[in-house]
Amino acid sequence: MKLIIASNNRHKIDEIKAMLGHRFSAVLGMREAGLELEVEENAETLEGNARKKAKEVFALADSMGLLGSGDAVLADDTGLLVDVLNGAPGVRSARYATEGHDDAANRAKLLWELNGVPERERGAHFATAMVLVRKDDTDIEATGRVYGRITEDERGENGFGYDSLFFYEPMGKTFAEMDADEKNAVSHRKNALELVLAALD
C-alpha cells in the first residue's frame, strides 16, 4: 500500500513517516508525489478541515492515476485549545496572528493573550483530527489529544508551531525540549495515528 500525506509540511511528514512508514510500501508528501494543490481550510472544525483536505487531495491523485488498489491519502488538522481562552486558537491555530502561517507571530499573540494568567489556569491540549481515504471507500476518521499547559515563555529549540510553549507534565518538558522520539511517543498526532492503525488492522 502507498500512502500520500496531504501536506507539504516537512515536520509533519517526517513525524507521520516515523510512525506509519512500516505499514506502507511508500509514504509520500504531496510534493514528493508530484501533486500541486492548495486546499482552502475553511471548515469550522478540525475534523472538517482534515476531511476536506483528504477528499480533495485524493480526488486529484486519483485523477492523475497515482493511486492503485489499496492506496490511500491521509490528511490531518491540528489545533491548540487553551482552556481560559474558551478553546482558542483551536481551528485557527495555524493562522492565529495572521492569514499566513507564521509560527513566531502565533506564539507571540498567544503569550500576549495569556499575560498575567496564573500557571494553574493555563491548561491546554493539542488535538489532531485525522482522516484516511482509501480506494475501496472505507474511510477512517480519528482524533488524538494530549494535555498540558502553556508556559510563560518559550523553551526549547526543537519541534514547530506552539511546541516551545506546550509543557507536558509527565516528562517535565515542553514539546520543543523533547527530541523527536520523545515527542512522537506521547504526541496528539501519535495518538491519532494509533487509532488509524487500529482501524487498519
Q: Which three cell numbers stand for residue 88?
A: 482558542
Active site residue 77: yes
- Give CA separation, 77 vs 1, 101, 136, 201, in Å: 23, 14, 23, 23
| pLDDT given for residue 98 in this prediction | 82
Sorted by sequence, the CB contacts under 8 Å of residue 127 that are 6+ apart come out as 46, 78, 79, 81, 143, 144, 145, 188
Q: What is the pLDDT of residue 11?
A: 79
The whole model's pTM is what?
0.88
Whole-number pLDDT of residue 201: 66
Contact 50, 76 (CB under 8 A): yes
**Parts of the chain with a pLDDT under 50:** none
The pairing of beta strand 2-5 with beta strand 72-82: parallel
Q: Give me the CATH number covering residue 104.
A: 3.90.950.10
- Grid coordinates given for 71: 492506496
**52-102 confidence digits (pLDDT tens):** 999 999 999 999 999 888 889 999 999 999 999 999 999 999 889 987 778
- 122: containing domain: 2-200
Shortest CA distance to 123 belongs to which of 84, 171, 80, 72?
A: 84
Distance CA 71, CA 136 (A): 9
Annotated active-site residue in 14, 62, 76, 77: 77
Instruction: Say how many domains are in the chain.
Output: 1
Residue 169, all three cell numbers: 507534565
